[in-house]
């Protein structure tokens, strides 16, 4: 299996995350990101309108895929089966870039309150997108909110496990295992 070769877009994301970790989000300029990635500033702007968008672009895709998977689940799927369908759909969007990025992004977020706030909003947005898709399926309010919280937790836990696991393993398998584990845990809440 050959080493995965990132394109300009992927190199820009990795360069940005590394620079955010080293010197902070505020202090990092588009020029520095482009230089580290070995591309021109105009290449940066062909891919992203600004450095903020570079971070949130992936999030909107992810929310969309989670919602799509939930919407297209079979009519007779239970709330958690619909969430599982969302996790499977979203996992298809996560390739080698995301796997390589995971530990770097974690370090960048740990180093910056601003990125922690952004990351937290991402979590809340993913839950909101899933809740909306579940509600549209006719799942009543407290159940939909709870199922989507389980889905977000499962995605995060699965993603963390995947980034430390055998590189040939599949994100969907890790996320679904995490969802099953959470479902089992819900029986022992008391």
Length of the chain counted residue by residue: 190
Enumerate the H helices of 5-78 as residue ranges. 8-23, 30-37, 41-47, 51-71
Nearer to a second copy, 88 or 122 (CB): 122
Burial 147-183 (b: 16+ CB within 10 A, else e): bbbbbbbbbebbbebbbeeeeeebbbebbbebbeebe
Q: What DSSP letter does each residue of 69-106 carry, written as one string?
A: HHHTS-TT--HHHHHHHHHHHHHTT--HHHHHHHHHHH
Query: Per CB under 8 A, does 110 bind a second copy?
Result: no
Exactly one of 30, 107, 153, 160 binds a second copy (CB under 8 A); that residue is 153
Nearer to a second copy, 2 or 190 (CB): 190
Q: Which residue is it, tokens 């902070």? A: 24
Min. distance of Cβ 114 from a second copy in angstroms?
A: 8
In the shown chain, the binding pattern of residues 54 to 83 toward a second copy, with x for contact by CB under 8 A and - for none, equals -----------------------xxxxx--
Q: Which of 2, 129, 111 is nearest to 59 (CA)?
A: 129
Stretch that binds a second copy, among 6-14, 23-31, 92-100, 150-158 (CB under 8 A): 150-158
**What is the spatial distance between Cα 65 and Cα 33, in angstroms, rounded to a whole number?**
28
Min. distance of Cβ 115 from a second copy in angstroms?
A: 10
Nearer to a second copy, 28 or 151 (CB): 151
Nearer to a second copy, 12 or 150 (CB): 150
Exactly one of 50, 60, 72, 117 binds a second copy (CB under 8 A); that residue is 117
Nearer to a second copy, 38 or 114 (CB): 114
Which residues lie near a second copy (CB under 8 A)?
77-81, 113, 116-118, 120-124, 140, 142-143, 145-147, 149-150, 153, 157, 178, 181-186, 188-190
């Amino acid at each position: 299996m050959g080493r995965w070769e990132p394109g300009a877009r992927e190199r820009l994301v990795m360069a940005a995350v590394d620079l955010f970790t080293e010197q902070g989000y505020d202090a990092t300029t588009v020029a520095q990101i482009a230089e580290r990635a070995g591309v021109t500033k105009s290449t940066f702007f062909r891919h992203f309108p600004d450095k903020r968008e570079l971070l949130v672009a992936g999030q909107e895709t992810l929310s969309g895929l989670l919602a799509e998977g939930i919407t297209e689940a079979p009519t007779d799927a239970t709330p958690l089966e619909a969430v599982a369908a969302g996790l499977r759909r979203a996992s298809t969007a996560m390739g080698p870039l995301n796997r390589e990025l995971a530990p770097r992004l974690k370090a960048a977020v740990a180093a910056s309150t601003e990125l922690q706030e952004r990351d937290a909003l991402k979590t809340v947005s993913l839950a909101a997108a899933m809740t909306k898709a579940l509600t549209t399926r006719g799942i009543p309010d407290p159940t939909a909110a709870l199922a989507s919280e389980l889905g977000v937790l499962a995605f995060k836990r699965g993603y963390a496990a995947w980034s430390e696991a055998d590189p040939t393993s599949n994100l969907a398998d890790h996320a679904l295992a995490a969802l099953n584990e959470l479902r089992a845990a819900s029986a022992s809440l008391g």
